[in-house]
Structures are given as structure tokens and as C-alpha cells.
Amino acid sequence: MEGFPLPLFLFVSTISTLWLTSTAISTISPNQNISDGQTIISDDEFFQMGFFNPSNSSTNRYFGIWYYKISVPTVVWVANRETPLNNTSGVLTLNQEGTLMILDHSNNMIWSSNSSLTANNPVAQLLDTGNLVIRSENDINPDNYLWQSFDYPGDTFLPNMKFGIDFVKGLNKYLTSWKSVDDPSIGGYTNRFDSDGYPQILMRRGSEVEFNSGPWNGLRFSGMPNLKPNDIYTFGFVFNERELYYKYELVNNSVVSRMILNPDGRIQRFVWIDQAREWRIYVTGQLDNCDRYGLCGAYGVCNIIDSPPCGCLSGFEPRSPDEWRRADWSSGCVRKAELDCEGGDGFVRRSGVKVPDTRRTWFNVSMNLEECEKECLRNCNCTAYASLDIRTGSGCLNWFDDLVDIRSYAEEDGQDIFVRMAVSELDRKAKAKRRVRVIVIPVLVSVTVLLGICLFVYWKRKQRKKNGVNNIVVVRENNNVANEKKKDDLELPLFDFNTIANATNNFSDESKLGEGGFGPVYKGILEDGKEIAVKRHSRKSKQGLDEFQNEAKCIAKLQHRNLVKLLGCCIDDEERMLIYEYMPNKSLNSFIFEEGKRKSMDWSKRYTIIVGIARGLLYLHQDSRLRIIHRDLKASNILLDKDMNPRISDFGLARSLEGSDTKANTRRVMGTYGYMAPEYTIDGIYSTKSDVFSFGVLVLEIVSGKKNRGFRHANHDLNLLGHAWRLYKNGKQLELLDDTINGFYVPSEVNRSIHVGLLCVQKYPEDRPDMTMVVLMLGSEIPLPEPKQPGFYTERRRPQEAESSSSNPEWSSSNHLSVTYLQPR
């Protein structure tokens, strides 16, 4: 101590004492006793633990964890569920080896944490997640915890908990109900992952299955259509050799949510409503009678809006029509025609369903649907197949048993399954369909034509009366910049100017959604309540007319779930407006680049969006009647519908190519910095491959949550493309992933997305894959080629360099979003 100035010593010692007491609150050290009446509170005061009594009527004392700030006592975990103390003389203590114990009045151990691991300086700590952990004093790595209460959940599934199986440690973390609301001892119900076949979560009463969540289908569990992206929590599923789990995280800790298996066997998610001071049910697992496991027996289908709810799959009939009539459907259905494996069977597709129990299934994540069908056909015991991931249609699941617990949903809430069927049955169906078509179609056609004529005449009269414009809008192609020869007329519903003015509150500032390249965009509500987005082309812009006609023409012909839908247009004097369906979630831009919202974009959502954009673009390039090049694909042009599906919008710059042409040249280079391909920016050559480049940039932006343009990195001067490529070259591409996605993603999907993104941004168009290839690469496990160096990967320079450089003038200064300039040909 000599030579150490006293005041400084005092100062240091005060600091360390303060530090000790402030951290000591949430921790227990060896030989420290927590007796009944004392409690421990987590650092940020989310949770508290101690002895408690769940009801007034009994004197039983339990040690547990509950919310600290929530006024209704809500216990989330109990240690001695089966061994209550009968008065307040119990203590909780941590021994030198790191085992937590509850001792009664005569020092008998009535509960212990039972870990086989030991540590030298153990501490027990209550974390702000509600997890009670035992760890070495200096080691906060979760992988090294000796024990944690999250591994032994009771009836409550908390955020950040991994619900499922740790294959390495041999732990199965599942829920068990309480006996009653005031008795935490183990009740009759369990809810746990079953990993026979492809995993699903089974809720059992004793050993009887009562509810089946269905297998994970890439978006949700097949039998839980209400598990949808929302503002309160993000969720995900992980399944590999090491672990299998489902997990959710709160988007904002100020909105508290928990999930429980209640004593009656209901799976319920609650959200705390602070104002009302109560827990409200947010969703329940079991929706209705159709969620009773196997209600309709084998090959039966439950549809809650039918009466009776049970029916048979097509090609099947009730096994016991008598029982069926008495509303006992449990014996299920049988085939009308027996299978004939040697003679060759076929499959019938059933859409919009919850797939059957997967306990007797086989799966392969890398097969596609075609291979899956072959695999099923090969094995005579295979009764049905389906894809594992409905986002990409990849993966294969084969059933080897009677199909039990199928239910029918609205198309978009369910998925497809392909049921094995005798060829004779398939033939009969085909014939029946043909017969129906022969009779029905001529009748239908003539009725439709008549109806059409009537409506048309009526509508035309009405239009004439209404606004003097006595014609349907005819948008004529007069753009000869690109090599288009088709001059087709186009019919589009016409909106009256006054209607639109009323709907948008006279184009008020409040209803303005934003400003596009050619004018403002407004939100409007039509008289019938329908929400619309109105794109008003500014009068001044000379270029507007071309773009307007172009966009109307393009979009009116395009119908795809990943493209925004044009409802009509409005022309009135100088006014030119396009009327779109309104997208409540605005653009991707506002989700991936905005601090607060980024966290709600979990990996599964981002991947769905990447695949959706790819499909929309593939449609534009290949599948639509016209071949469309978008030319201005960027995050702000991707809108999100209410289910967060991406919709490509803004066709103001789109060009269609005729027939087999895939490339064209323009003098007017338009687009957005950071997304334009090198050959387009420099030589004005655009092709589907320049869209592919923009798509690649978009993928890397979605993965990283960073903009290509304006990207900054401390260690180098590369833009986002260069940064991604550099990480890829060093095998560290996972570091590109947005850090708001903390540890909650499927690495193979992330790797594949980055790899495909890099292939798309390669410098030379001929090296880039086309969109058919991109969709295939995203949806399967086919080997991918090595990406070459990206185009434009060092554009961002230090200002002094930019000034002295002459090669790429367009990159050096401007902050404008769009660029237009003339390029001599």
C-alpha cells in the first residue's frame, strides 16, 4: 500500500463498492441464503424472484419468478413445483459447486438445480429475460451456463426461450400445464416438439394427442394460420443436426407478451395492456372444433365453415356411412379405388390445407417438388407428398401412413398436398371434368358475353353522362426510343377527376404519401371505402406523358401477386393520374433502412421478400405476354402489402422488348445511382441482365440492412457490393447480415442469398444469371458457381480523389436520386 495516495485509494474503493452492490442485486453467491420474504430483482427490473403462495386457500410456498413491473401477479416459472413447502421457513441457497437448492426448516433438500457441471466461483443470476442462470462468476457466455431455468420451462414460454430440443445436450424443453390456476404442480397437458418424422408440436392430454400445430412450412406451422408477422413479436424456427427449436422475440420490450399452456390444455398468447392493467388474449393455438386432433379420422378433411365439418378427400368415401350420419367421423374415409403400385398411381393436388400428422414421414430439404413426386411414386407405401418450404416450393416431405388431421383453410392460409390416387380414379376425374366443360362452357361463355355487352353499354352511357369524356381511355404507344413496334390500344377503367379529388381530400397534404420521380403520390378512400394510391403526374414534366402512357400500358397487362395492381387511370385536361391499390405497409425502403423498424424485419420475412421480388421480376422478364425490363428496381419501388408480401411498383421507366430481343440501347439513361448496372450507366445498354444487377444490389441491401449508395466502412473504401464481395472472399459473408437479426436465422439461406446476390452484381452482364436461374438457385440446393468481381464496387471515393478523376463523372458528386442524361450513340 506504500506510495499509494490515500484519497485516490478511497475513491477507487468507493467505486468498486458501488459497482459490487449494483450488480449484486440480481445475483446470488455461494452460501448466501434467500429466505422466505426476501426477493431478487433483475438488473433492469423486468423480473423478480422469491417465495410465493399461489392462492389464499393453501399455505403451500413455492420458489418462483414473476414480472416485477406488472401489477397482476404473474408467475412465469416455479422451481419446486412438485414439492411445496408448508410454511415460510424455506431457504434458497447456492452451494460451492454451483447447485441451487431449496431447503426446508430442518435443512432437508426439497429441490435442486441438478446440474452435472460444476464451476469454481459460481453465481446464480436472474436475467432481464426472466431466465435464472448459474454460471462462473467471470463467464457470461450463454453457451457455458452450468444451468438455466429456460431449459426447464413450466407452463410459460417466454420471449428468447428456445422451445424445442437440444440434440447435443439431450434436452427437450417443452411446456407442462399447471394442475389449476392456484396449483403449479404438473397438470394433465404437455405441449412439445415431436421429432419422429418431420418435427411438429403436439399438445397431449396424458398420452393422447389433442392438438397438432403441424410442421413448419417456411412461414409458420402448417396448422397455425394465425401465426403471422406482426408488430409485437418476431418468430422463427431452426432445425439442424444440433438443435430444433421455435423462438420468438419482442419487437419492443415495452409491449410484453407471453405464451402459456393453461390448465385446460389451451395454448394462449397474452399481451399486457398497461392502461387496462390486464393480460389480454392475443391469439390461441386451437381455433375451433376442427383443431381437435383427428376429428375427421383418416383421409377426412375438416372444414369449420361446413356442416357437418367433416368430409372426405376427393377419391375417398366414408368408411362407415352410418357412424358418419351420427356425427361420429372418427372412422374416417376409405379409397373408392384401390391403389395399384405396379400399374402406376398418380397424385391429386389439394390446396389450402393444414397438412396431416407427420410422425410417419420422410423428408429431404434439398429436393424439389418434381423429385419429391418421383420419390413418393417409387415407394408403394408413400401416400402423399408436399414441399417443406412454401416460400420457395423446395424440400420434400413424404407420408407413409394414413393421412390424419387434415383441415381446410382459405387458400392463402393453407398449403398444397399431393395425395396418391389410383390411375382409374384420376381418369374418372379427368373424364368428369371434360364432360362438365363440354356442357358448361358454351353456356357460360354465352351468358358471360351477353352480360358483358349489357354492362358495357350501361357503363358507357353512364360515363358519358358523368363527365363528358365519351370514351374509354386509349393510351397509344408513341415512344420510339426503344425498339418497339407494337401500337396496341389499351382499355383501362377511367376515374372521374372529381371522384379522385374527393377521395384524396382535394389532394391535401395530409393524404400525400410521398413524392415520386414524376410527381406526388396520394392516399385516397373511394366512396365505397376502398383504399387507393393515386400517382399524380406533375403538369410541368414534359417527360411525364411518355412515362405515363408507358406505365399504364405496361401495368394494365400485368397480373402477378408480386406486382402492384393498377385499378385505373384518370385524364382530365392537363391532369394525368394512375390509380393503384393501396399498400398499407409502404415501401421496403422504410423497413430495411429505418432504425426502429429494422428489428421487425426478421430473417424469415426478409427471405420471403427476396424470393417474392425474384418471382415478380421473373414474371416481368419471362412469363408475362410482354417482356418487360423494369430499369429502376430499388428498395423504394418495392411496396409491401398487408401480409408483407413484396410488390414491384413504378413502371415509369419500364421498357418492353419484343419477341426474342433481350437487349436494347437508349440515349436517355435513367435510373437510380447505386442500383444501375455498369453497361447501362456507361453505354446506355439495358437488358434483363441490368435488372438482374439491380436485383443483386437489392438482395445485398435486404440482407445487410444497409444502402449500397452511401455505404461507409471504417477499414476500406468499398461500397456495399465491394464489402460483401470482400467478406465472401474471406469466408465471412455471414458478417454482412444485419445485426438486428441477432442469431435468429437459417445460415444456409443467408449464405445462399448473399451468394446469389453476388452472382447478380457481377461486372459483365453475360456472367450474371437470368431470373429463371435466380429463382431456381434460391429455391433449391443446387451448387452455385463462384461469383466474379462485382461491377462498380469501389465507386465511393475520398472527395479529393473524386475531383481529380475523370473516368466515371456520374459517380463523384450528386446526391440526386435519379439521373437523366443524354449519351451520344
Ligand X SMILES: *[C@@H]1O[C@H](CO)[C@@H](O)[C@H](O)[C@H]1NC(C)=O
* Residues acting as catalytic residues: 632
- Beta-carbon contacts of 60 under 8 Å, excluding residues fewer than 6 positions away, are 53, 54, 84, 85, 86
Question: Does position 416 bind ligand X by CB under 6 A?
Answer: no
Question: Does position 29 bind ligand X by CB under 6 A?
Answer: no
Q: What are phi and psi of 91, to 5 degrees?
A: -135, 150
Question: Does position 783 bind ligand X by CB under 6 A?
Answer: no
Q: Which is nearer to ligand X, 366 or 559 (CB)?
A: 366
Q: What are phi and psi of 578, to 5 degrees?
A: -110, 135
Question: Does position 275 bind ligand X by CB under 6 A?
Answer: no
Q: What is the 3-state secondary structure (H, E, C) of 754-794?
A: HHHHHHHCECCHHHCCCHHHHHHHHHCCCCCCCCCCECCCC
Question: Does position 104 bind ligand X by CB under 6 A?
Answer: yes
Question: How many CA atoms lie less than 13 Å away from 644 in the CB half-sphere?
Answer: 23
Q: Which is nearer to ligand X, 258 or 630 (CB)?
A: 258
Question: Does position 146 bind ligand X by CB under 6 A?
Answer: no
Question: Does position 91 bind ligand X by CB under 6 A?
Answer: yes
Question: Does position 86 bind ligand X by CB under 6 A?
Answer: yes
Alpha helices in 471-594 (DSSP H): 497-503, 544-557, 589-592
Cβ at position 445, least distance to ligand X in Å? 44
Question: How many CA atoms lie less than 13 Å away from 301 in the CB half-sphere?
Answer: 21
Among 69, 105, 280, 466, binds ligand X (CB under 6 A): 105
Cβ at position 577, least distance to ligand X in Å? 35
Cβ at position 272, least distance to ligand X in Å? 13
Q: Which is nearer to ligand X, 619 or 744 (CB)?
A: 744
Q: In the numeric block, which cell numbers belong to residue 818?
A: 435519379
Question: Does position 33 bind ligand X by CB under 6 A?
Answer: yes
Burial (Cβ within 10 Å: 0-12, 13-18, ≥19) of residue 432: exposed
Q: Which is nearer to ligand X, 387 or 762 (CB)?
A: 387
On whether the CB atoms of residues 197 and 355 are closer than 8 A, the answer is no
Strand partners, 278: 273
- Beta-carbon contacts of 788 under 8 Å, excluding residues fewer than 6 positions away, are 762, 763, 764, 767
| Choices 99-107, 225-233, 525-533, 638-646 (CB under 6 A): range interacting with ligand X | 99-107
Question: Does position 596 bind ligand X by CB under 6 A?
Answer: yes
Question: Does position 508 bind ligand X by CB under 6 A?
Answer: no
Cβ at position 382, least distance to ligand X in Å? 8
Question: Does position 367 bind ligand X by CB under 6 A?
Answer: yes
| Choices 100-108, 213-221, 483-491, 764-772 (CB under 6 A): range interacting with ligand X | 100-108
Number of residues that bind ligand X (CB under 6 A): 24
| Choices 84-92, 470-478, 521-529, 643-651 (CB under 6 A): range interacting with ligand X | 84-92
| Choices 103-111, 646-654, 703-711, 805-813 (CB under 6 A): range interacting with ligand X | 103-111
β-pairing, 300-302 vs 406-408, is parallel
Among 29, 381, 559, 813, binds ligand X (CB under 6 A): 381
Cβ at position 28, least distance to ligand X in Å? 11
Question: Does position 371 bind ligand X by CB under 6 A?
Answer: yes
Q: What are phi and psi of 556, to 5 degrees?
A: -60, -30
Q: How far apart are CA 155 and CA 157, in angstroms?
A: 7
Question: Does position 87 bind ligand X by CB under 6 A?
Answer: yes
Sign of the dihedral through C-alpha 556, 773, 755, 767: negative
Q: Which helix (H) or strand (E) holds 283?
A: strand 278-284
Instruction: Give the number of other Cβ atoms within 10 Å of residue 149's Cβ.
Output: 26
Owner of C-alpha cell 473516368 = 807
Question: Does position 56 bind ligand X by CB under 6 A?
Answer: yes
Cβ at position 109, least distance to ligand X in Å? 10
Q: In the numeric block, which cell numbers belong to residue 677?
A: 448496372
| Choices 98-106, 316-324, 424-432, 622-630 (CB under 6 A): range interacting with ligand X | 98-106
Question: Does position 71 bind ligand X by CB under 6 A?
Answer: no
Q: Which is nearer to ligand X, 56 or 138 (CB)?
A: 56
Per-residue exposure over 705-720, b if at least 16 CB sit within 10 Å of its own CB, e if not: bbbbbebeeeeeebbb
Q: Which helix (H) or strand (E) holds 696?
A: helix 688-704
Sign of the dihedral through C-alpha 719, 725, 729, 734: positive
| Choices 86-94, 308-316, 613-621, 694-702 (CB under 6 A): range interacting with ligand X | 86-94
Q: Which is nearer to ligand X, 93 or 694 (CB)?
A: 93
Question: Does position 114 bind ligand X by CB under 6 A?
Answer: yes
- Beta-carbon contacts of 206 under 8 Å, excluding residues fewer than 6 positions away, are 188
Q: Which is nearer to ligand X, 22 or 89 (CB)?
A: 89
Question: Does position 366 bind ligand X by CB under 6 A?
Answer: yes
| Full DSSP string of 254-277 | TS-EEEEE-TTS-EEEEEEETTTT
Q: Which is nearer to ligand X, 380 or 571 (CB)?
A: 380
On whether the CB atoms of residues 397 and 215 are closer than 8 A, the answer is yes
Cβ at position 186, least distance to ligand X in Å? 12
Strand partners, 417: 350
Cβ at position 84, least distance to ligand X in Å? 9
Question: How many CA atoms lie less than 13 Å away from 622 in the CB half-sphere?
Answer: 13
Among 5, 7, 20, 31, binds ligand X (CB under 6 A): 31
Question: Does position 89 bind ligand X by CB under 6 A?
Answer: yes
Among 226, 252, 470, 794, binds ligand X (CB under 6 A): 252
> What does the binding site for ligand X look like in residue numbers (CB under 6 A)?
31, 33, 56, 86-89, 91, 93, 103-105, 107, 114, 252, 254, 364, 366-367, 371, 379-381, 596
